[in-house]
Amino acid sequence: MSIPMQRITVIPGDGIGPEVIEPALALLQVLGLGLEFDVLDNVNVNTYLHEGNALSQADLDHLRNSDATLLGAIGDPRVSETAYVRTVLSRLRLEFDLYVNYRPTHLWHDRLSPLRDPARRGIDCVIVRENTEGLYSGIGGSMRAASPEEFAVDLDVSTHRGVSRVLDFAFSVARRSVCMVDKANAVRHGGQLWQRCWREAIERYPHVETSHLYVDAAAMKLVSDPTAFDVIVTNNSYGDILSDLTAALAGGLGMAPSANLNSDTAYGLFEPVHGSAPDIAGTGTANPLGAILSTALMVEHLGHADEAGAIRRAVVAAVEAGRVTPDLGGSLSTAQTGAAVMAELR
Ligand code: NAD
Ligand code: IPM
Ligand code: MN
């Protein structure tokens, strides 16, 4: 029986996006999975600057006709973040109802940890970030702009359905425990809704160990004892912030992969956690391992667990050998690091 060809839409994007996607794609190509790639190199800031919109209906149709999307990064200092990023990245997450942002942190090599105490380095946790609600709703308004009386409101939206489904996802991927993180001591209405959904979820999964932390305490505990965590489930903003923190515990933003998922449609958008890093774009020093580990998440999601394992082992071997970019203490370029991983894969 022949396996139907799987189609991947690739959006290299801006800044270091295309630089890290190139080696990631090269690796995917040698895996021989028979994946078909459609590269949309028009979805970027240049199109936005010329046409006022970087994601056309045709692009969206393209994505709809594929099995998954691999994205580099979106963002450029020349344009307003909210207008541009919201119409591409946030739009994709909403358009495909990718309500889970799955952000695993695994310390692939002891040397990558900033923590002094070796007993604290068994880091293997996942942030399950709600990805379609919260402060990212885009609902709000402002008045009396550019005056001392100016005021602005952004609605922090939580729905029973939205919270319950992301909690369910968190329980479904738990190996040991789920920790729910919120700020219900200060955020009144949404806080109560999250707390209620959390109590209901606990009843649905009586055999999973659970805990709850306020986000400030969670940030502290992630640094002082990251080994305590398995799955952390939280809202859109806290998940955004805490996932940069967990990335820093395991080598930094250059190492961190992510998946935007919907468990009903099974569609996935895979991207490194980092952004377009304008400060290093064009220098050839961007770490491609976050993008490469994102492809591991993608091929695993598409049913190729062995190949995902092979990619991860090749990454670990390159790190072990110090054949990495400067952010990890190496002296290789983006392309050379990609080639080092490729050599380990073969
Ligand atoms: P950033 O993640 O781009 O960079 C933060 C810091 O980490 C920078 O010092 C950068 O040099 C470093 N860094 C990031 N990725 C790296 C890599 N692969 N190798 C080595 N160093 C790396 O965050 P920022 O500077 O706050 O944002 C820059 C732009 O990216 C903004 O426009 C922002 O909106 C956008 N952004 C996009 C995404 C995305 O597309 N998913 C994510 C975050 C930020
Ligand atoms: C991320 C990014 C985005 C987010 C930005 C670019 C809107 O920081 O994917 O973590 O906050 O979701
Ligand atoms: Mn972020």
Q: pLDDT per residue over 55-65, tens digit each? A: 999 999 999 99
Q: How far apart are CA 219 and CA 235, in angstroms?
A: 14
Above 60 in pLDDT, residue 303? yes
pLDDT digits 0-9 by tens, 192-203: 999 999 999 999
* Residue-averaged pLDDT of the chain: 97
Ligand nearest, relative to CA of residue 77: 1
C-alpha distances out from residue 287 to 38, 174, 260, Å:
23, 29, 21
Q: How many CB atoms lie within 10 A of CB 168?
A: 16
CA of 160 to the centre of ligand 1 (A): 32
Ligand 1 site, CB within 6 A: 16, 20, 73-75, 81, 85, 89, 253-254, 271, 274-280, 286-287, 290, 327
Task: Provide the pLDDT for residue 3.
Answer: 62
At residue 311, the 3 state secondary structure works out as helix
CA of 82 relative to ligand 3 center, distance in Å: 13
Average pLDDT on 129-149 reads 95
With vertex at residue 45, the alpha carbon angle to CA 275 and CA 92, rounded to the nearest 5 degrees, is 65
Instruction: Kindly provide the b/e burial profile for residues 276-296, where b requires at least 16 CB atoms within 10 angstroms of the residue's own CB.
Output: bbeebbeeebbbbbbbbbbbb
Q: Is a pLDDT exceeding 60 seen at residue 50?
A: yes
Residues acting as catalytic residues: 136, 183, 216, 240, 244
| H or E stretch covering 101 | strand 100-106
Please, is 114 exposed, middle or buried when counting C-beta atoms within 10 Å of its C-beta (0-12, 13-18, 19+)? exposed
Nearest CA to ligand 1 atom 36: 275
Q: Tell me which residue has tokens 């064009």.
A: 282
pLDDT band at 2 (very low <50, low <70, confident <90, very high): low
User: Which ligand 2 atom is the nearest neighbour of the CA of 244?
Assistant: 10
Contact 316, 108 (CB under 8 A): yes
Q: How many angstroms does the Cα of residue 244 sit away from the middle of ligand 2?
A: 10
